[in-house]
Amino acid sequence: MIDALNAVDIPRRAPLVIASAGGYPKDINLYQTIKLLSNALAAVEPGGTMILLSRCGEGFGSEDVERQLTAYTSMEEREKALRSTFSIGSYVGFLFAEAAEKQTFILVTDMDAACFARTGIIAVKTLDEALDVARQRNGGSLSMKTILMPHGATTLPRLPR
């Protein structure tokens, strides 16, 4: 049923994905933004660039998410902590940090960039700033295949079988 309502066929993954959570309440905090991240990851090619737009007015949304992103400096430390005291929030935080290890991950958010200092997540305040960062990271150009996901938290990219 969900597949029929929300799946969108894409011919292949793209080097650039620009995705919005779709506004309130889908972008209320980073914990809720995991839905957007999961769908964007399904659309971006390995090593590509993701620009995710999620206001996160209520911050991390979970102490466990916050701890995963702020208390550790390496993925090894994060994984060790996750394995020792698993929680869904810790897993969500781990997935955000892991995504930033594998892609250029730019987050347009109201959250302070310092919240992500121990991760590879690049937090900016505007889409224009995000596009400038993406351009710099991609050799000064954004002339590449791009997938736009205006309702990314509820859009399921589906690759050909």
Domain boundaries, the chain: 16-61+98-155
- Report yes or no on whether pTM surpasses 0.85: yes
Average pLDDT over residues 18-41: 97
Nearest-10 crossing angle of helices 63-70, 88-102 = 40
Whether the predicted pLDDT of 35 surpasses 90: yes
Average pLDDT over residues 44-49: 97
Nearest-10 crossing angle of helices 75-84, 88-102 = 160
Mean pLDDT over each residue of the chain, to the nearest integer = 96
Whether the predicted pLDDT of 96 surpasses 60: yes
The dihedral built from the CA positions of residue 155, 27, 33 and 123, taken in this order, carries a sign that is: positive
Whether the predicted pLDDT of 43 surpasses 60: yes
Q: Does domain 16-61+98-155 have CATH number 3.90.226.30?
A: yes
At 103 the pLDDT is 97
Query: For residue 1, what pLDDT band results from cuts at 50, 70 and 90?
Result: low
Q: pLDDT of 115-155, one tens digit each?
A: 999 999 999 999 999 999 999 999 999 999 999 999 999 99
**Please, where are the H alpha helices in the chain?**
2-6, 34-43, 63-70, 75-84, 88-102, 127-137
Q: pLDDT of 9-24, one tens digit each?
A: 999 999 999 999 999 9
Whether the predicted pLDDT of 110 surpasses 90: yes
Name residues whose C-beta falls within 8 Å of residue 38's C-beta, 6 or more positions apart in sequence: 95
Tokens of 101: 């290890």
